[in-house]
Structure formats: C-alpha cells, structure tokens
Amino acid sequence: MSTSPEMQQLNAAIAEGIASISVAASRDELRSTMSSLTGKKGAVAAVKSSLGSLTDVDQRKALGAAVNEALTQLQVAADQRERELRVVEFAAKVEAERVDMTEVAMSPNATRRRGRMHLVTQATERLEDVFIGLGFQIAEGPEVETDFYNFEALNMPPSHPARSMWDTLFIESDVEGSVVLRTHTSPVQIRVMQEWPPPIYAVMPGRVFRKETPDATHMPVFHQIEGLVIDRGITFADLAGTIESFTKAFFGPGFTSRLRPSYFPFTEPSAEFDIRRPDGSWIELGGCGMVHPHVLRAGGLDPEEWSGFAFGFGIDRMAKERHGVNDLRDMYSDDIRFTEQFS
Ligand code: DAH
C-alpha cells in the first residue's frame, strides 16, 4: 500500500514540504510556505482530493490517515522552525537596537564629550566641603525674598540709605509685603536664626540678583556664600581666626588673610576681608563683622545671651580669580570651548 501512487505523492510532498520549511528565512516566509503547503492548492490537498476516487475502503482510510499524519508532520516541522526563527529574529532585534554604553567612555575622544561641572558649582562644592570640615552646617533660603528678610531684619528699615548699596530687582515695589529677588545671601542668616536653636555654625550658599548691566566683572545673577556663627561669648578674634583657618584650608597653606574696617548695616563692627597670595598680591573677597544686636533680635535671639559673627562673599568672582578667567560673562556663555579648558 505504501507504494500506491497517492502514497508516493504524499511522501514526496512531506519531504519537499519539510525541506522548504527548514529553509524559511523569516517567520513571515514560514507562514506563507505553510499556507501554500497545507492550503487548497498545495500538494497535500491534491492527494486529499484523490481520496474520493478510491473505491477500496481500507485504502481510503489508510490514505486519509496518512494525509492527516502528513499535515501533522509539516506542522511539527513548522513549529520547530518557528522556534529557531524566533531566537534568530530576537537576536537580530537586540543587535539592531543595541546601545553601546561603552562607546563614549572608550572613545579616544572621550574627554571631548564628557560633561563637566560649572566652575561656580565646583567652587561651591569645595567651599561647602571646607566649611563642613571646619564644623559648619549648610543651609539654604529662597531666591525670592520679602523686603523684611532682605532688608528690614538686616537692620535696614524702609528708606534706610544703606539700601542703595544693592541695586535691587523688586518684584512688587512699595506694596505692603513686597517681594524682591534677594540681593545677597544675608537674609538666610535671619531664617536660620529663626529656625535653628543656637549655637549655630552655618554656611549658606546661593544665587543672588542685582540690577546690573553685565560686564567683565558684574553679572545681574551671581552667587554668594554666607557664614553665620552664633554662640555664647563669640568675639571678633573668633571671626578673624575662622577667616584665617578658612583661607588656609581653601586656598592653601601659603595664603593668609587680613581684615579692613568697613561698614555694613547688619554687623557692628564691620570689616572687609582680603586674601594674600603667596606672591604677596591681594584678592578682595568679601564682608564680615559681629552680628548687630538688631539682627539678633530679628532672628529671635537675645543679644544679652548670644553673640556671633557673619561673613559673605561672591563665589563667581572667586572662581574667576582662581581660574584666571578674564571676563565673568564667559562663565555663562555656554561655549564648549571655554568649558573644555577646566576639568
Ligand atoms: N551681604 C553683603 C553683600 O552682599 C556681604 C556681607 C557683608 C555679608 C558682611 C555678611 C557680612 O554676612 O557680615 O555685600
């Protein structure tokens, strides 16, 4: 029986079918191969259609069973090929969508592509590290301040002439509760005194704003760091000693500091401090002084019990000095050729 022409036709159809299934190059191709093999016009269907013309019942049964078996074999082969193709296609997809994470780091031009922290961010982080090393904590305050915190609590009531030391950007002027873009980080002193129980050893870095036309040494937006120490029996000697320790820790052992008499409404006495480079030249850094009793009171502290000192200086200008930048505006031009010079 296995030699009947229908059987031979069927066996050939299976062999050819399995061969074409095994070379299907994709799952789409496999689907169309299968539909032509098992479809109405396929070789198996041709054998199946000859069933009706067989008169011998046993032969018909046997051929019918063989046709079903043939379809099963083709399906098994197709399932097997489908699994293989799934693996191949998945691997191809992974390869096509691969993101080479090593590419940038391994590239010989890697240094050109790597980002860097802004000079001011670098300086701020170093300053924070040095002050933390000296036992200070970090605090921050809002960039939009009320008139009270920016001026009044710092011993500058409305119409106080010292207000003209700061070219203020008012958001609402002359209104009860008016707000300003803070002109310095000093208002954070008040907020810290109001919130933290003394003793206080804090530095407060942040962005400040003044109505300035940008030039080589001024920007309308810049950065300061404020320092505040409140404790019992703090003296001017503690202030001078702290400035000196900071100078050596931040700039290096060859540097030293000096204080010059000055005036700020929120400190009494007040001073400006300069840093001397090892070559003998001086850098003007910032202001400082003993916290004025009015300021202590505005911060909710009793000046009979607590005393302290404060200081503040510009971070941008310090970074400019340190890196020999000629024009402050270059630091904010976002020009990669500028940034690349500093790692
Ligand atoms: N806030 C002052 C300014 O922006 C700097 C300053 C001076 C801060 C004296 C202080 C200080 O804490 O005691 O010009």
Residue (of 42, 34, 40) closest to 85 by Cα position: 34
Which stretches of 114-208 are DSSP H helices? 119-133, 147-150, 187-195
According to DSSP, the residues that pair with 276 across neighbouring strands are 256, 282
Q: How far apart are the CA of 196 and the centre of ligand 1, in A?
A: 20
The one-letter code for the residue type at 339 is T
DSSP string, 235-297: -HHHHHHHHHHHHHHHH-TT-EEEEEEEEETTEEEEEEEEEE-TTS-EEEEEEEEEEPHHHHH
Angle at 185 between CA 179 and CA 187, to 5 degrees: 55
Alpha carbon 278 to its chain centroid, in Å, reads 37
Residue 187 Cβ inside 6 Å of ligand 1? The answer reads no
Among protein residues, the one with the nearest Cα to ligand 1's atom 13 is 288
Question: Exposed e or buried b for every residue in 46-63, given b needs 16+ CB within 10 A?
Answer: ebbebeeebeeeeebebb
By most ligand atoms within 8 Å of CB, the mutation choice from 264, 270, 274 for ligand 1 is: 264
Residue 226 Cβ inside 6 Å of ligand 1? The answer reads yes
Backbone angles phi, psi at 293, to 5 degrees: -55, -35
Question: Exposed e or buried b for every residue in 186-202, given b needs 16+ CB within 10 A?
Answer: bbbbbbbbeebebebbb
Residue 312 Cβ inside 6 Å of ligand 1? The answer reads yes
DSSP string, 161-173: GGGGGS--EESS-
Per-residue confidence in pLDDT tens, the chain, 343 aa = 447 888 899 999 999 999 999 999 999 999 999 999 998 888 888 888 888 888 888 888 988 999 999 999 999 999 999 999 999 999 999 999 888 776 655 556 655 566 778 899 999 999 999 999 999 999 999 999 999 999 999 999 888 887 888 888 877 766 677 889 999 999 999 999 999 999 999 999 999 999 999 999 899 999 999 999 999 999 999 999 999 999 999 989 999 999 999 999 999 999 999 999 999 999 889 999 999 999 999 999 999 999 999 999 999 988 988 888 999 999 998 887 887 788 6
Helix (H, G, I), strand (E, B) or coil at 204: strand
Q: Which residue has the tokens 């954070």?
A: 188
pTM > 0.85: yes or no: no
Distance in angstroms (rounded) separating the CA atoms of residues 136 and 201: 5
Closest ligand 1 atom to 189 CA = 12
Residue 264 Cβ inside 6 Å of ligand 1? The answer reads yes
Among protein residues, the one with the nearest Cα to ligand 1's atom 4 is 184
Token pair, residue 227, equals 């320092």
Q: How far apart are the CA of 187 and the centre of ligand 1, in A?
A: 10
Instruction: Express each pLDDT in 37-76 by its tens digit.
Output: 998 888 888 888 888 888 888 888 988 999 999 999 999 9
Q: How far apart are the CA of 250 and the centre of ligand 1, in A?
A: 19
Query: Assign residue 196 a region: left if phi > 0, alpha if psi is -120 to 50, beta otherwise?
Result: beta
Distance in angstroms (rounded) separating the CA atoms of residues 113 and 106: 11
Q: How far apart are the CA of 326 and the centre of ligand 1, in A?
A: 24
Strand bridging mode 221-231 / 282-291: unpaired
